[in-house]
Amino acid sequence: MIGPDIDPAEIAALRRRFPESFRPAWRTRLLAGLALAALVAVAGYALVRLDFSAARLLNGLGRLGEFSLMMLPPETGGRAWAFLQALAETLGIAFIGTLTAAILAFPVAFLAARNVVPNPFVHFTVRRGLDVVRSVDVLIWALIWINVVGLGPFAGALAIACADVGALGKLFSEAVETVDGKAGEGVSASGGAELHRIRFGLIPAVLPVLGSQVLYFFESNTRSATIIGIVGAGGIGQYLTELIRVLELRQVAFLILMILVTVAIIDAVSGRLRRALIGGVTT
């Protein structure tokens, strides 16, 4: 092992004198070559399957420019208040969906954490269940809930909750596992039961991290709530679909501008809140 007092110039001299000693092993070079070849093969196959064409791309970029010019200047079409209501609905879908997912994921996370439930069968089963839930995309969940409860924002909130509970449960459990065990040991040493160790030792230590993760998911779900509106799950996405269909492109541009400004504001605010929560927290 090279110590911190070794001069870098000495290492360079040794590298020149004994190049074989510094060269990666042949197995490493072979594996790297095979990995690169596999990557190139997969990329080539994907390009062929996607029917990629540089000529089509350049032609499409020209049409994109024409399409963009048709969107200027943005206008409300006399429906500014309706657009604002739809935006508020989108934020409500994101908020309720994220909050519901966090509430459901919080207790499940402790079942999936190894330092809380030592039984490997329990936390393995819970984690695989979370993996199954989060493997279904939010758009699929939206289509499922639209068929269950009908069109509208309620289906959108349920879709976001289902899509996020798996991811939040996994992240929450990993955060619980990284907590310093000394916090809980102090409670146990004073005669506290296992529930007391979790309540007064683990939860206070992990709450700032969980809060930061929930804020990030709310920020991300603001965009997701817009997308699922396209399939009928409420919010501003429904307006986007209708206006694009009838080629009211200037109003589409206004909606896109509203979404961009809203996401930028939420990103700035949640970023500050996340830094405030995480700052000074040690696990």
Mind listing the pLDDT tens digit for each residue in 127-151? 888 888 888 888 889 999 999 888 8
pLDDT value at position 201?
A: 60
Check whether 256 has a pLDDT greater than 50: yes
Position with higher pLDDT, 154 vs 7: 154
Last-in-domain residue among 41, 69, 97: 69
Q: Residue 167 and residue 185: Cα distance in Å, rounded?
A: 29
pLDDT value at position 23?
A: 64
Q: Residue 246 and residue 226: Cα distance in Å, rounded?
A: 19
pLDDT value at position 182?
A: 59
Mean pLDDT of 32-50: 86
H/E segment holding residue 92: helix 80-112
Of 201, 122, 134, which is closest to residue 168 (Cα–Cα)? 134
> Domain range for residue 37?
8-69
Last-in-domain residue among 22, 47, 69: 69
Helices (H) and strands (E) in the chain, counts: 13, 0
Q: Residue 162 and residue 239: Cα distance in Å, rounded?
A: 24
pLDDT value at position 161?
A: 92
Least confident of 107-121, 206-220, 222-236, 244-258: 107-121
pLDDT value at position 49?
A: 81
What is the rounded average pLDDT for all residues in the chain? 79
Question: Does residue 229 belong to any structural domain of this protein?
Answer: yes
Give yes or no: residues 144 and 249 share one domain: yes
Question: Does residue 2 belong to any structural domain of this protein?
Answer: no
Give yes or no: residues 14 and 125 share one domain: no
pTM of the model: 0.72
- Annotate 26-61 with b (16+ C-beta within 10 A) or e (fewer): eeeeeeeeeeeeeeeeeeeeeeeeeeeeeeeeeeee
Give yes or no: residues 56 and 88 share one domain: no
Question: Does residue 265 belong to any structural domain of this protein?
Answer: yes
pLDDT value at position 97?
A: 92
Give yes or no: residues 252 and 170 share one domain: yes
Give yes or no: residues 49 and 121 share one domain: no
pLDDT value at position 191?
A: 54
pLDDT value at position 160?
A: 92
pLDDT value at position 227?
A: 86
Position with higher pLDDT, 213 vs 23: 213
Q: How many domains are there within the chain?
A: 2
Give yes or no: residues 122 and 255 share one domain: yes
Position with higher pLDDT, 12 vs 73: 73
